[in-house]
Structure 1
Amino acid sequence: MNTATPSVQRKYFTKPTPTQARFAFVILLIINILNYTDRSVLAAVQILIQKEFGLTDIELGLLNSSFLFIYGLSTLPIGIWADRGVRKNIVAICVTLWSIATALSGMTHNFIQIFLTRSVLGIGEAGYAPASVSLIGDYFHKEKRGLMLSIWSIGNLIGTAIGLIVGGIIAEALGWRWVFYVVGIPGLLAAFFIWRAVEPKRGAFDREGDNSSNDAAAAHGSIGGNILQVIRQLLKTPTYWVLVAAFICSFFIIGAALSWVPTFLSREFGLSISQAGTISGGVLAGGSLVGTLIGGWLSDFLQRKMPEGRMIITTIAFLTGAPLTWVALSMHQLAAFIAVFSFAIICLSLCLGPIQAIIQDITLPEIRSTAVGLALLLGHLLGDAASPLIVGLISDSTHSLGFALQITGPTCLLLAGLICVIGVKTVPKDMEKMRKHLNEEYNAS
């Protein structure tokens, strides 16, 4: 039963106009960029922090893992909250929290203090992804979601690139503490703007012709509030669990790479902090921009031809990215590494938009935030939460960070690709099942 008053329903659960959707999307894209900027600056300056605090590679890995572990634990409950509350307000609260935590990281003076601030950062950032993916799904028609989510996903690596590049430059010029001060402040302004955006009606473009008072928020509150019921529904969707398994494998190497690539470049090729950050950030930004846009367009094109189109692109991305990553990490010349690694990033980025759109395609609108939250919870806890620490352990044991990355990264990406092969077979049935459910629901209303 929907307990919201009619005035609240009219204010918060509306079908957005194109102008309102574009405004909110731009703000969400900016926040996503800030999201990854805040989380990536540690990798840009951790060599300086390691020197000042006297840390081992294991402790550096633990700093990165602390954020990811708390991020993973927090994603599901906040995702459930997003399936019950006003999503734009949840995003605003989370952005404010992580921005303050980032700024406080610059005031730390020992391992415990920075460990705590990075952990709080995870709580704030955990609430953003489920709510934002759900919002974008309701701001745009389902035929455009692949492209819009691909553009939104560009913020992941653009933000990472900004964090690595700007972080390294500011650290060399002003010291590593100023990096956290500078990148933490813009989030507060972005939080205000998303708070002023329009909250779209749940499933606004899924239930075509739905102009009745039977607001999707009713089911939304009851289903999102019962995680066991949501899980029972998801257990009937094999493709969802294929994506979860792929998330786990791919998140492992993503967490390790974002934490260690600048340090790897500095150690392997003798680069300065700013040089390592600029190269790693530039490769990520350029490669991801090309790959994500191509992947979004290509997946939407194939999706119009066949129901498994987006899953095919996702599978290709992992299976081509795995060997390219292995070859790149085998290179001992900087120019060769940059060339191969850039191509690997392009291939891997093909899946960023499609994999998010697939979740939208196979889950009901009222449980999407919870579905995304559960996928991220398992992906982070079983994937990237421990990967920075594991890579640090292998690095300290073998005295080779490159070896640690090379034996973990390509293996996990190959597994992700093989798992997605299964999804190519299951996704058509799951999409058809959801379509029938929505049609039955609409006809019943």
Structure 2
Amino acid sequence: MTAEQTAPMAAPKRGAAYQIVLVALLSLNFGIVFFDRNALNFLMPFVQPDLNLTNTHVGILASALSLTWAVAGLLISAASDKAANRKGFLLVAIVVFSLCSVLSGLATSFLLLLGARLLMGAAEGPINPISHALVVREVDPRHRGLAMGVMQNFGSNFFGSFVAPVLLVAIAAAWGWRSAFFLAGIPGIVTALLIWKFIDEPPAEEKSEGASDRLTLKEAFSYKNIVVCSIVSVMLVSYLVITWAFMPLYLTQVKGVDPGVMSWLMGTLGISATVGSFVVAGLSDRIGRKPVLVIIPFLGVILPLGAMFFDGSYWVLAVIFFFGWALNGCFPLFMATVPSETIQSPHIATVLALVMATGEVFGGVLSPFFAGMAADKFGLTAPLWIIFGFAIASGIVGLFLTETAPIKRAKAMEPTPGL
């Protein structure tokens, strides 16, 4: 298989009802993951003065979680591929990250909070690639884009970007930020029980003769699509993490927005991405992955420009945030759908983790650190200009993608009339 070819589509092993339950539970679980991951960002206006954190500290905390998220995601996902026991790895990870939320609430200093975030990242990292590997094995390829979009974006954004800021800020205002962290640790235990009961480990896939037990970095990056997806991952993960880390601070400290209003504005991002989990991912099933990955990222410039230059109604600003955050709907495409349609499935969790890890290390780790330093030196507008640039660059890189959508591949294989 060359860098321009794509992997064959395997037939689904289960009925439609099981496919729906699988995607729903995995989406709910990933929602709890982001509820816990994002909790610190939305609670930062309360945490920062209490623990005497600088903007550089804020960036380091975001970077730390991304670092262990990336490393553990790659190593543990590869182990789950080799052991063919993705469900077991998934359950352990869920329980551990839930306990880490409680540890965050117990932190009394920057270093203790840093330790809790490092451990949380290690537990949460493998959840997304392992979950997508289950979706690839069980869901009809014709609906793969939509299924992966819902799995990664619906729960994560409804709970992590909408419910989290509204609920956690309200709890922090009433009972303190530590209580909010304690609450965030409970739902993960519930989802672990549901997954244990209702999701089965797919049967082991037969390996082709001569197939390797592992996928090397050289082999993975010999595929052009994996290179393109990894570069887009760096840029859009940077956009995502910087926005989460610094937009709440910009709104409250520069724009003078009340924390309660800030929580609703940030919650608008969750509504946008929740809708996008159907619209953007479903659109890619119909018109192809490449047009979506080229056009949608450019909408991301609306968000920082609106935050910096619009001074009217908060309702209008919420609309600006809604459309600006539409680029979030691209994440399942470059992190899961396109890679899974490019490389054979025995290594699917590994390659998805590789794309995710590249984005998390070079985007999630480095970008918030430098954005924090820029904010300390130039002010909180600096991170917003940084994400403006990333939105434009990612759309340009998408031009180099090779199309993988089944509907486009089927049309390409149709005989030309008259021949």
* Pairwise TM-score range, normalised by the shorter structure: 0.7 to 0.9
Residue in 2 aligned with 1:3?
A: none
Task: Give runs of aligned pairs for residues 283-362 of structure 1, distance below 5 A.
Answer: 283-302=268-287, 309-322=288-301, 325-333=304-312, 335=314, 336-346=316-326, 348-355=327-334, 356-362=336-342
Q: CA deviation at 1:333?
A: 3.6
Residue in 2 aligned with 1:175?
A: 176
Q: Is the 8 A contact 1:295 1:354 kept in 2?
A: no
Residues 241/122 of structure 1: CA separation in 2 closer, same or farther (3 Å cut): same
Q: CA deviation at 1:226?
A: 2.6
Structure-2 separation of matches of 1:221 and 1:74: 28
Q: Is the 8 A contact 1:299 1:313 kept in 2?
A: yes
> For structure 1, which segment, 129-138 or 380-389, has the greater mean C-alpha deviation from structure 2 after superposition?
380-389
Task: Give runs of aligned pairs for residues 227-238 of structure 1, distance below 5 A.
Answer: 227-228=215-216, 231-238=217-224
Residue in 2 aligned with 1:241?
A: 227
Residue in 2 aligned with 1:198?
A: 200
Task: Give runs of aligned pairs for residues 53-92 of structure 1, distance below 5 A.
Answer: 53-85=51-83, 86-92=85-91
Residues 191/219 of structure 1: CA separation in 2 closer, same or farther (3 Å cut): farther
- SS of 1:199's partner is coil
Structure-2 separation of matches of 1:375 and 1:421: 18
Q: Is the 8 A contact 1:327 1:340 kept in 2?
A: yes
Task: Give runs of aligned pairs for residues 361-400 of structure 1, distance below 5 A.
Answer: 361-398=341-378, 400=379
Alignment of 1:226 onto 2:214: yes
Residues 428/134 of structure 1: CA separation in 2 closer, same or farther (3 Å cut): closer
Task: Give runs of aligned pairs for residues 4-23 of structure 1, distance below 5 A.
Answer: 15-23=13-21
Structure-1 separation of matches of 2:202 and 2:304: 40
* 2:387 maps to which of 406, 409, 413: 409
Task: Give runs of aligned pairs for residues 99-138 of structure 1, distance below 5 A.
Answer: 99-138=98-137
Paired amino acid for 2:104: S
Task: Give runs of aligned pairs for residues 142-157 of structure 1, distance below 5 A.
Answer: 142-152=141-151, 153-157=153-157
Q: Structure 2 unaligned segments of length 5 or more: list them.
A: 1-11, 414-419
Q: Is the 8 A contact 1:83 1:221 kept in 2?
A: no
- SS of 2:168's partner is helix
Structure-1 separation of matches of 2:127 and 2:186: 17
Q: Is the 8 A contact 1:150 1:293 kept in 2?
A: yes
Q: Is the 8 A contact 2:148 2:332 kept in 1?
A: yes
Q: Is the 8 A contact 2:31 2:156 kept in 1?
A: yes
Q: CA deviation at 1:427?
A: 5.1
Q: CA deviation at 1:324?
A: 5.4
Residue in 2 aligned with 1:46?
A: 44
- What TM-score do you get using the length of structure 2 for normalisation? 0.87
Q: Is the 8 A contact 1:84 1:221 kept in 2?
A: no
Q: Is the 8 A contact 1:220 1:366 kept in 2?
A: no
Q: CA deviation at 1:141?
A: 0.9
Paired amino acid for 2:200: V
Count of paired positions: 394
Residues 105/371 of structure 1: CA separation in 2 closer, same or farther (3 Å cut): same
- SS of 2:201's partner is coil
Alignment of 1:216 onto 2:181: no
Residue in 1 aligned with 2:6?
A: none
Q: Is the 8 A contact 2:25 2:195 kept in 1?
A: yes
Residues 382/332 of structure 1: CA separation in 2 closer, same or farther (3 Å cut): same
* 2:399 maps to which of 421, 424, 433: 421
Residues 189/316 of structure 1: CA separation in 2 closer, same or farther (3 Å cut): same
Paired amino acid for 2:276: G
Residues 298/55 of structure 1: CA separation in 2 closer, same or farther (3 Å cut): same
Alignment of 1:187 onto 2:188: yes
Paired amino acid for 2:396: L
- SS of 1:83's partner is helix
RMSD: 2.5
> For structure 1, which segment, 181-190 or 20-29, has the greater mean C-alpha deviation from structure 2 after superposition?
20-29
Q: CA deviation at 1:314?
A: 1.4
Structure-2 separation of matches of 1:178 and 1:98: 17
Q: CA deviation at 1:328?
A: 4.1
- SS of 1:385's partner is helix
- SS of 2:13's partner is coil
Residue in 2 aligned with 1:262?
A: 248
Paired amino acid for 2:341: D
- SS of 2:82's partner is coil
Residue in 1 aligned with 2:417?
A: none
Structure-2 separation of matches of 1:87 and 1:428: 26
Residue in 2 aligned with 1:9?
A: none
Structure-1 separation of matches of 2:14 and 2:62: 38
Structure-1 separation of matches of 2:188 and 2:229: 30
Structure-2 separation of matches of 1:349 and 1:316: 12
- SS of 1:351's partner is helix
- What TM-score do you get using the length of structure 1 for normalisation? 0.83
Residue in 2 aligned with 1:253?
A: 239
Residue in 2 aligned with 1:25?
A: 23
Post-superposition Cα deviations, 1:345-387, rounded to whole Å, max 9, x if no partner, equal 13x1342343332122111111110101111111111112122
Identity %: 21
Post-superposition Cα deviations, 1:15-37, rounded to whole Å, max 9, x if no partner, equal 33433333222211110110110
Post-superposition Cα deviations, 1:155-176, rounded to whole Å, max 9, x if no partner, equal 2222222221111011001100
Q: Structure 1 unaligned segments of length 5 or more: list them.
A: 1-13, 202-214, 303-308, 437-445
Structure-1 separation of matches of 2:260 and 2:210: 48
- SS of 2:202's partner is coil
